Structure 1
Amino acid sequence: MDSAEGDFVWANGSTTTLGDVAEVIDAWRSGVLLAPLRECFPFIEFSKMAEGYECGAPAETAWGILLADDNRISQEMLAALRSNSRLSGMFPFFSHDVLRLAIDPFKRDAGEIRIEPQGNGRFSVQSSSDGEILADVELADLADTASSFFDSRGELRS
């Protein structure tokens, strides 16, 4: 079951019973939530991220998933950024070793802040709205630097 927005899969599964497929479609279209759907149809699988979208908290869910990843070297960076009230509402994801904080995960042109580790505990921070790059930022200043891209209305300045 795919999202109408973006390229997001809400749930998936397989069965050899056509009747089950029809019932899943009917239940989904009538608004049955993911957990009850899986209770009725155990072949349905979905992710924590799908639950986050369903409950209207995708950014909070994404932060939780990233911070729970023990293999991620950047836990201190993530914790520092999440503690900032402006940044914690953004949708975090990694792409090509760059942390991206998106305004809207489904609209690429909505704007984002990119944070790239430079080594030795330093980072470069870039806003997609104006392309400005602030480089050689220490971890202690990272959240303040990233939030400096916002204007007084709380929008990424252009």
Structure 2
Amino acid sequence: MTEDLYPDLVELGGLQGALTRTSQQNGVDLGVIDGATSASSEDPNSAKLMSDRGTIMIYLGAEERRFYISIAEVQHSWAEGVTDDLLAVVGVANSWRTGATLRELNSRFPFMEYSELAQAYEDGDPVAIQWGTLLHDDAFADYRSLTQEVYADERLRALFPFYSMGMLRLSADHTSRQASEIKISPLSGGGYRVESTTSDGQTHVEHMGQVVEAAVSLLDGL
């Protein structure tokens, strides 16, 4: 943080102090404001605020006056944005903490952007949107054949899909990282390993066409 870019923050000891002062001056309660980095809760270049819908992280730009804002849960991101206005940062944090929807947040602060998946999470059913992303986003092109094969089964299609380290994971509950899962792993020597987090056994199949049958057989245990 430099005095040239952030003279107001320097005077108040950093971002956390400036957020506290600005919120108080505008009659806003932002709750406890900590540093966003684990190295130091008093990091003058960052701030972290809690809400009922995830954590609000704020970082300073190094080369120009910018406040980078990220709102996220453990499972997913809600919204992100950049502004040079500290009062707007306070407004974003207060709006989110007091229940603004994604559309309302974007309407009040157009620099705060969110994804179709985030909107689906807010609406309560992100499964269909997530499948669409895996099926059509070029980032997942290498896995498209497997995704299409699994998606074709309506029982498996009801699960929340995501890829991790090349493994297709089908979660029984999109709201929890601890939810039961079916995991489908392409093997380097060919074939696939199909398993569930609720059982110890594994099934190895040679062909993609056998994957669905193996995965469906694990549904009752989820």
TM-score bucket (shorter structure)? 0.7 to 0.9
Residue in structure 2 matching 1:92, options 161, 173, 177? 161
Residue in structure 2 matching 1:48, options 111, 116, 120? 116
Structure 2 partner of 1:27: 95
Structure 1 partner of 2:207: 138
CA deviations 1:53-100 (Å, max 9, x no partner) are 111122222111111123422212111211222211211111111111
Q: Is the 8 A contact 1:100 1:115 kept in 2?
A: yes
CA deviations 1:5-61 (Å, max 9, x no partner) are 535331122323233223323332443321342233121122222112111122222
Residue in structure 2 matching 1:125, options 190, 194, 212? 194
Q: How many residues align?
A: 153
1:104 and 1:15 mapped to 2: Cα distance?
35
SS at match of 1:42: coil
Structure 2 partner of 1:147: 216
4+ runs deviating over 6 angstroms:
none
1:120 and 1:27 mapped to 2: Cα distance?
52
1:9 and 1:117 mapped to 2: Cα distance?
28
Superposition TM-score, scaled by structure 2 size: 0.60
Tell me which structure has the larger Cα radius of gyration. 2
Percent sequence identity over aligned pairs: 34
1:51 and 1:110 mapped to 2: Cα distance?
21
Q: Gapped runs of 5+ residues in structure 1? A: none
1:3 paired with 2:65, answer no
Q: Gapped runs of 5+ residues in structure 2? A: 1-50, 56-72
Q: Is the 8 A contact 2:75 2:177 kept in 1?
A: no
2:159 and 2:118 mapped to 1: Cα distance?
17
Superposition TM-score, scaled by structure 1 size: 0.81
